[in-house]
Amino acid sequence: MILSDREIKKYIDSGNLKIDGMENPDVQIQPSGVDLRLGNEFRVFKVISVPYIDPKHPIENYTELIRIEDNQPFVIHPGEFVLASVKEYIKIPDELVGLIDGRSSLGRLGISVHTTSAGINPGWEGILALEVANIGKMPIALYPGMRVAKLTLAKLTSPPERPYGKRGDEKYHKQEGSEESKIFKDFRWK
Q: Which amino acid is at 107?
A: G
Residue 30: which of 157, 155, 149, 119 has the closest Cα?
149
DSSP strand pairing (81-86 vs 129-134): antiparallel
End-to-end CA gap in the chain: 34
Q: How far apart are CA 32 and CA 4, in angstroms?
A: 5
Among the listed residues 181, 162, 159, the one whose alpha carbon sits nearest the alpha carbon of residue 97:
159
Which entry of 41, 88, 131, 170 is annotated as an active-site residue?
131
Let me know: does 148 contact 130? Beta carbons within 8 Å: yes
Question: 3-state SS of 51-111?
Answer: CCCCCCCCCCCCEEEEECCCCCCEEECCCCEEEEEECCEEECCCCEEEEEEECHHHHCCCE
Alpha carbon 68 to chain centroid, angstroms? 17
Known catalytic membership, residue 131:
yes
The catalytic site residues sit at 131
